[in-house]
Every structure is written in structure tokens, then in C-alpha cells.
Amino acid sequence: MKLRQLFDPISCTYTYLIYQESTKEAVIIDPVFELYLRDKALIDELGLNLKYTIETHVHADHITSGWLFKQSCKSEILISSSSGATNSDRMLEHGDIIEFGDIKLKSLYTPGHTNGCMSFVDQNESMVFTGDALLIRGTGRTDFQEGSSHALYESVKKKLFSLPESCSVFPAHDYNGIMSSTIGEEKSFNPRLGGQLSDGDFIGSMDNLNLPHPKKIDEAVPANLQCGFREDGSLFSNNPKWARLSYAFAGHWDISSDELFSVLSLVQVIDVREKEEYLGPLGFIKGSKNIPLNEISENKAYFDQQKNYVFVCRAGGRSVQAIKNAGLYKNKNAASLRGGMIDWRANGFSVENGKD
């Protein structure tokens, strides 16, 4: 089993991509709407078949991208039967098994933070994904969404703390940059309910947290009660419209040689190779402008934020750096030619000044 832990710095949410390397079947736990492109890029680059998106609960601090994945990957949405959510493909009960490849995750009903919280433990009980029930040296709050301090105490003490002490804990959030813990650590050192702390001790602490409500609660909860369903039915309305681009996990937009050829008259190609290389054997694309990489930064004023640019180099590495240096990184109007001039030539497209 392979695990990738991904992070949203805005809501401090951890998203987990779990997959079997041999079958390429995968699940994603607690994906964030705004980071759909990042997560989808990783899934594509790893060649995975996303089978399920799993929600640990109805979140109040971010909107899920589960519905987007359902459209793009044909994955099913899984959430607790006690969540009150609609548009899911499967409503989970305590003890339900989620299978993908040879991997099995067991559903644990762990209410308290909300009434519909679930945790998920692997078949070897070597790792557990605790959502907002058990955090690292903390717990989720219990003051909204039918939360109950007593129920959360019981969930953690009787269900999560019954797992092996070596079992790794992967929560849905951390606000201090800590990535994981273990059941043994939390049983000993969790200041809210570790050691000999009683139900009464826990309730006393939770009643006095005095936390403001999450900033996005009024937007996030209604959206997540529909599993991220979008009324307009669109996949991702912010995708670039000028060409069929692919978003790379590295954080930039790519364009294929075929696609660049089809939109060549609509874009400005910027070739970032040195002049000698630009005029060398690989040749250059007709109409391209040669600005070597080491001159891009000093030419930032040249780039119009509203114009469409494709950056090109020999193999597709320097062109990505050029986008950054031009101040266009993550700009939907700038893309890197995937594979560079090597790929352009390999696909049989014409060049100027090139030598066979």
C-alpha cells in the first residue's frame, strides 16, 4: 500500500491518496475543492484509477472536490450514513469494508466532532485516518453540527484507543505542521483525553475552548451536505479556455505538441534556449520569439497577463522555470510545451532553420 499525504495551507486540511502499486486502484480521503487540479494531476501522473473519494465527515472549513472527481474519474463518493449528506454513492455504517485492489479499509463510526464522523483503519491496523475525531495532541471541536463532547470521548477512548499502540494516526487537520502520530503517543500525551483524563475532564476542556466558528462554515456545510455537487454541472469552470491544457502536479500548465500546433496562430511562443541552441539542429517553431532563460526576469514587462504564451525549450524543463521567472506561474494564460522541441520534432511538426 502506498500513501501520499497532501496539504491545504488555507484550511490546514490533510488529504490522503492511498493506492496499490500493482493494480493502480486508489482512493482519496478528504479532498479539497480548490486543490482538485493538484490532486487530479498527481493521480494522472501516477497512472492511478481512482475508485472512491471518502469523506470522514461533513466539513465546515472547506468544500470537498468529491463531485469533481466523480465527474472526471467516475469515482464513487462514500460518507457516513449518519452524516445527513445527499448525492453520495454509498452510505457507510460502522464496520463496513472499503476494498480497492488488495487493500481493505474498515469504517469506524467515531461521532462527537459531528454526528456523522467516520475513521478508517487498514486491514493490518497499522494506520488509521481519524478525520477530526482524533488530532495530533488534540481532538476536533464539538460545539456545532450536532457535536457531543461525551460522544467524542467515547469514540476515541473505546474505538480508536483500542487499536495497537504502534498504529499510525493520520488526522484531517494539523495546525502546527505535524504530519502524523501513533495511538500509543496519543494515549499517553494527548492533553485533552490521554492518560488518566476522565470524561468530565474532557467535557470541561471542550466547554471552554471559546473558538470562533470556521470562516467558511456557511458556505462549506451546505455544499458538503451535497457532497460538493455543483448546480451548473460544470467540471471546473476555471479551466483555461484557449487550449486543452493539463495541470502538472508541479503547479504549472502543460500543453502537448498536437494541441500547440492546433492553436499556434492564437498564441505567442517564447523559446527560452540560448541563441546558438535556438538556431541549432533542433530548429525553432515559426513565429516564436527567442528570449533566453537568463533574460526572462529582466523582460517581465514584456509579458501581458491577458495574452496567451507557450514557453518552449529543448525538453520541457527550462520552459517551466521561465514561466516562474516571467511572473506567470499558475497563470492560466501561460503553458510549457511538454517534452519541448524534442517532442515537437518527434511528432513531425515543421521547424525553421532545423537540420535533419
- In this structure, the number of other CB atoms found within 10 A of the CB of residue 348 comes to 8
Q: What is the pLDDT of residue 322?
A: 98
Same fold, 2-224 and 246-346: no
> What single string gives the DSSP state of each residue in 54-82?
E-SS--SSS-B-HHHHHHHH-PEEEEETT
For the stretch 286-321, pLDDT in tens is 999 999 999 999 999 999 988 999 999 999 999 999
Q: In this predicted structure, what is the pLDDT of residue 234?
A: 55
What is d(CA 115, CA 109) in angstroms, rounded to the nearest whole number? Answer: 9
* CB-count exposure of residue 220 (10 Å: 0-12, 13-18, 19+): buried
Residue 200: pLDDT over 80: yes
Tell me how far apart the alpha carbons of residues 128 and 347 are, in angstroms, rounded to a whole number: 47
- What pTM value is reported for the model? 0.88
176: pLDDT strictly greater than 70:
yes
Whether 5 shows a pLDDT value over 80: the answer reads: yes
**Alpha-carbon radius of gyration of the chain:** 24
End-to-end CA distance of the chain: 47
* Topology classification of domain 2-224: Metallo-beta-lactamase; Chain A (3.60.15)
Which grid cell is 286?
A: 515559426
Q: How many CB atoms lie within 10 A of CB 113?
A: 31
Grid cell, residue 226, equals: 451535497
CA 101 to chain centroid: 21
What is the topology classification, in CATH, of domain 246-346? Oxidized Rhodanese; domain 1 (3.40.250)
> Phi-psi category of 111—alpha, beta or left, where left has phi over 0 and alpha has psi -120 to 50?
beta
**CB proximity list for 110: less than 8 A, separation 6 or greater:** 117, 118, 119, 130, 131, 133, 134, 152, 155, 156, 159, 160
Q: Where are the domains of the chain?
A: 2-224, 246-346
pLDDT range class, residue 329, cuts 50, 70, 90 = confident
Query: For residue range 202-259, what is the model confidence (pLDDT) as tens digits?
Result: 999 999 999 999 999 999 999 999 999 977 655 555 679 999 999 999 999 999 999 9
Amino acid identity, residue 248?
A
